Chain A
Amino acid sequence: MLTEIRKHCADLLTRKQVAAVYGLRERDGHTAPYLFTRAEDLDGLTVGTKVPVTFTLRPAKKNIISAFQEKCPGQKIAVLVRGCDERGLYEVAKRGQIQVADLAIIGYACDADQARACHCPRPHPQNLKFGEKVQGPSNEAFIAKIVNMSVAEREAFWRAQFSKCIKCYGCRNSCPVCICKECWMENDAFSPTGWLPPDFPMFHFVHFYHLSDSCIECGACVDACPMDIPLNLIRKVLSKKVQEELFYTAGQDPEEKPPLASREEAKERLEKGI
């Protein structure tokens, strides 16, 4: 698959169909997002790692695509995406961060092992060009662990988990869809500077709630957490509730409005039967 992808991208660049190809590059044992402008660099192009392509740059709260589009408006770039990457692009597009129309989205499927490692329910993009679709593991089975606990057991479970938190902000900083310039997780009224571990559950409540209708279940926050706090247990409970209650799944359609932040189509959503 990798050889085909490289060839395809080289074609796009040499035929000048795109100004650049945005994907992952491996160099000196490290993998990071990279904007390829020369076909000869493409032998460093890699796929299938857990590094997200649409991560947010701090402190500017932008991503590489939005930075590019600001500098070179209207120029087309190709973006190599997995399912989660594509969902992330759509979520930031909904919030006016990038122009999807100026992107050539080239998707590839993750295999069953990768899907399992990320607990990913949809391990393939809509713009699938390379690889075969596989079924992701079930969220239901994954969240059963906390769903089956009593309220008091859950409190004890999360108190123990969050007491490990060192407030490194890794969960927030790694998130591809977390874009607010002013962050409530830094608000002293909620979680004063210098208090460790943060008070249960204020700091984490903000993270969970504020991404509840934009979380694309990429797992980047869990991977980033140095204390192995299973943040995705709650993420997936919330995604399910948002689907059931608001008939909405994040990352499906860049034209949709995020339900918890939009007044415009509140009425229509309500008329759908809430």
Chain B
Amino acid sequence: MSSTPDNFEPRIVAFLCNWCSYTGADLAGISRMNYPANVRAIRLMCSGSVKPFFIMSALHKGADGVLIGGCHIGDCHYQTGNHLTKKRIPITRELLGALGIDPRRVRLEWISAAEGQEFAEVIHEFVKELKALGPNPLAGGDHAH
């Protein structure tokens, strides 16, 4: 986007499940892997606890991107929690798109506890993509909080 300032650093809210993705992110940290510091991680018990309303709320409150991280299909510690996630996210993205909010701001990734490297790569890619998209036009909302 032409109006994007060169120093724009996107803010990413990452909803990560306790058992896989949060541990994966932690591994990336303790292994001193290099990834951009744009992520605010929120730990939940399961990706299935991420209500689409939370995603909308994060975007509304100023996140430029929202990452949802869960265990790979078959590995969810609550058996089918991530199956719910897998069904919800495409519908959520479709709704965002129909409302005029770029669905590329919402990303779903399966990241296991061993995939610190993958986590770092996802963040690299996402930051790059969000820089190209520019700041989230919803940021801050219409009313002061």
**A→B interface (CB under 8 Å):** 146, 149, 151-159, 184, 189-190, 192, 195, 197, 199-202, 204-206, 208-209, 212-213, 233-234, 237-238, 241-242, 245-246, 259-260, 263, 266-267, 269-270, 274
Identify the stretch in B21-29, B99-107, B109-117, B122-130 within 8 Å (CB) of chain A at 4 or more residues.
B99-107
Q: Are B73 and A270 in contact (CB under 8 A)?
A: yes
Return chain B residues, CB-CB under 8 Å to A241: 90-91, 94
> Can you list 10 A-B contacts with CB-CB less than 8 angstroms, sorted by A residue number?
A154-B98, A195-B143, A200-B138, A205-B53, A209-B91, A209-B95, A246-B87, A246-B91, A259-B87, A269-B87
Complex alpha-carbon distance, A99 and B118, angstroms = 49
Q: Are B60 and A146 in contact (CB under 8 A)?
A: no
Q: Are A201 and B87 in contact (CB under 8 A)?
A: no
A266 touching B138 in the complex, CB below 8 Å, given contacts A151-B101, A205-B53, A234-B98: no
Q: Is B45 an interface residue, CB under 8 A from the partner?
A: no
Considering only residues 63-89 of chain B, those with a C-beta below 8 Å from chain A are 73, 79-81, 83-84, 86-88
Distance from B3 Cβ to chain A, minimum over Cβ atoms (Å): 12
Of A149, A158, A184, A263, the most chain B CB neighbours within 10 A belong to A263
Distance from A104 Cβ to chain B, minimum over Cβ atoms (Å): 35
Q: Are B143 and A199 in contact (CB under 8 A)?
A: yes
A151 touching B57 in the complex, CB below 8 Å, given contacts A209-B52, A241-B94, A260-B88: no
Complex alpha-carbon distance, A154 and B96, angstroms = 10
A199 touching B60 in the complex, CB below 8 Å, given contacts A146-B98, A151-B102: yes
Q: Is B36 an interface residue, CB under 8 A from the partner?
A: no
Return chain B residues, CB-CB under 8 Å to A234: 95, 98-99
Q: Are B91 and A155 in contact (CB under 8 A)?
A: no
Distance from A128 Cβ to chain B, minimum over Cβ atoms (Å): 31
Q: How many pairs of A and B residues are in contact by the CB < 8 Å rule? A: 106
- Chain B's closest residue to A184 (CB) is B53
Considering only residues 119-145 of chain B, those with a C-beta below 8 Å from chain A are 137-138, 141-143
Return chain A residues, CB-CB under 8 Å to B100: 149, 151-159
Q: Are B142 and A199 in contact (CB under 8 A)?
A: yes
Q: Are B84 and A266 in contact (CB under 8 A)?
A: yes
- Chain B's closest residue to A204 (CB) is B99
Distance from A131 Cβ to chain B, minimum over Cβ atoms (Å): 34
Q: Are A212 and B99 in contact (CB under 8 A)?
A: no
Return chain A residues, CB-CB under 8 Å to B94: 237-238, 241, 245
Distance from A222 Cβ to chain B, minimum over Cβ atoms (Å): 15
A267 touching B95 in the complex, CB below 8 Å, given contacts A156-B100, A190-B53, A205-B56: no
Return chain A residues, CB-CB under 8 Å to B80: 263, 266-267
Complex alpha-carbon distance, A212 and B94, angstroms = 11
Complex alpha-carbon distance, A197 and B32, angstroms = 47
Return chain A residues, CB-CB under 8 Å to B101: 151, 155, 201
8 tightest A-B CB contacts, nearest first? A155-B100, A154-B100, A266-B83, A241-B94, A263-B80, A237-B98, A199-B141, A266-B80
Q: Is B38 an interface residue, CB under 8 A from the partner?
A: no
Q: Is B49 an interface residue, CB under 8 A from the partner?
A: no
